[in-house]
Amino acid sequence: MITLSANWLRDRWPNLVANGAVPLPLSRWDDGDAFTLVELGVLPSSNQVTGHLAIGSVDAPESPLEVRLEPAPEGVDDDAKNAFTAPDGTTYVAIGRATGPGASSEMPVQIVEVEAALAERRVALLESQVLKDECVFILGLGTGGIHVTLELAKAGVGRFVLMDGDRLDVGNVARHHAGVSHAGRRKVYAARDLIWEKNPAAEVEFHPTAADHNSEELVQGILDQCDLVVCATDGRPSKLFVNRLAISAGKTALYGGAFRRAYGGQVLRVRPGSSPCYQCFVMSMPEEEADREVASSHDAIEIAYSDRPVPIEPGLALDVAPIALLTARLALHELLRGRPSTLTALDRDFAAPWYLWINRPEPDTPYAAWPPLSESSDEMTILRWYGVFLDRDPGCPACGDFAAAIEEAYGVGTDNASELPEHPSTDLPSLEG
């Protein structure tokens, strides 16, 4: 099978008509069982051949593969896989042939309208172009972040801004969508290429840097142009940093993460002004927020005790997947919010701000005694999502009236409010009660 892009053919039509033939760069797969136009995607085969595309009876240069466009005979279906309607309105059929020493054989050819073919897989639930102009800002392209990113790309999101300062290690690819061929690359570059493999028309902006106070101006500028934020970073400081700026920009943000060894996980959705923010969550649910996966040496150093190291214990990719998938679904739901769609039926299901999932009854956790999924229908069990309603903290330093709460709790007057730190401590206790 030889697969070509209709757009590629249209772009080269003037040259083809003028010269009769043009070079045809192809990826060779599976010992010659399939050939794909090199420019069809950004990750071609390392085994490539150059054939020729010719029109009519024009003699083409000798090459191992030839695709010839011949005027379509009467009665040929314009929708046939090998049919191509040229810019002049003439319909052609493509005939492929592999040539070799003393022998040749015909090969089937398919000419694909790539964007249309991808869109038709979404059209049953989504108006095919409804997400084309939506922009999602994704911070953190590890196992969870890349999973969310690719699900949104497959759903048709048209604009991505990616931020992550890390590189892919060989060990990462045991769980990451990128394989060992990408080892050593910046995660944002690998993610960009994987997006384009799923959605070639997507616009991708990428920043190989960490989300912290050194990149604050950059993050603020990105927030101004995006429609939704997905924060898939590992640590509390980066999430609180993003939380503060997203609230200031009035942008909804999703914070997903796995518990230690990925025995479960959680997703928090923050709608500024109407839901608790991540700082509220830290103060109201400190144990749940602090329970997070230690998947790298960086994570271990960040939370290590002063007298002993913290072991690196990443969970399985299939245990991270449910958390990433719900994050992606919530992201899709936010992007479609207020628009007619079959998926708006989920409005009542996604009313809570916090979502909890447990993969297994991990020993020494509050969920160790949860009953098996098969034994209960009226109590909480493993392998089910639960939406939990939380209240905003009126004294939250990020989304509440912190100065008023300080004044009420400690008698500090408003004249002293300007002396409060610009970036409140991440460990501030709740001022309620």
Per residue in 170-197, pLDDT (tens digit) is 888 889 999 999 999 999 999 999 999 9
What are the C-alpha distances in Å from 363 to residues 288, 311, 377? 15, 17, 23
Residue 109 neighbours by CB under 8 Å, 6+ apart: 1, 2, 3, 4, 67, 81, 82, 94, 95, 96
Phi/psi at 273 (5° precision): 90, -15
Give the global pTM.
0.84
Beta-carbon count within 10 A of 205 CB = 16
What are the C-alpha distances in Å from 147 to residues 28, 67, 131, 182? 28, 37, 18, 16
What are the C-alpha distances in Å from 376 to residues 358, 366, 370, 372, 386? 15, 18, 10, 7, 14
Residues 59 and 137 in one domain: no
The C-alpha atoms of residue 94 and residue 96 are separated, in whole angstroms, by 6
Per residue in 323-373, pLDDT (tens digit) is 999 999 999 999 998 877 777 778 889 999 999 999 999 999 999 999 888
What are the C-alpha distances in Å from 285 to residues 97, 197, 259, 387? 65, 39, 14, 15
In a domain, 421, yes or no: no
Per residue in 395-405, pLDDT (tens digit) is 999 998 766 66
Please give the pLDDT value at position 407. Answer: 62
Check whether 161 has a pLDDT greater than 50: yes
Residues 24-35, mean pLDDT to the nearest whole number: 93
Single residue among 83, 112, 141 that ends a domain in this structure: 112
Element (H, E) at 288: helix 286-290
Q: How confident is the model at residue 305 (pLDDT cuts 50, 70, 90)?
A: very low
In a domain, 359, yes or no: yes
b/e per residue 25-61 (b: at least 16 CB within 10 A): ebbbeeeeeebbbbbbbeebeeeebebbbbbeeeebe
Check whether 167 has a pLDDT greater than 60: yes
The β-bridge relationship of strands 2-5 and 34-37 is parallel
In a domain, 43, yes or no: yes
Residues 157 and 228 in one domain: yes
Residues 304 and 213 in one domain: yes
Single residue among 65, 89, 112 that ends a domain in this structure: 112
Per residue in 236-283, pLDDT (tens digit) is 999 999 999 999 999 999 999 999 889 999 999 999 999 999 999 999
Please give the pLDDT value at position 419. Answer: 53
Residue 20 Rama label (left phi>0; alpha psi -120 to 50; beta): left
Of residues 21 and 298, more confidently modeled: 21
Q: Tally the domains of the chain.
A: 2
Q: 381: domain range? A: 125-388
In a domain, 394, yes or no: no
Check whether 84 has a pLDDT greater than 70: yes
Check whether 429 has a pLDDT greater than 80: no
Mean pLDDT of the chain: 86
The C-alpha atoms of residue 427 and residue 260 are separated, in whole angstroms, by 20
Please give the pLDDT value at position 327. Answer: 98
The strand pairing partners of 65, in sequence order, are 98
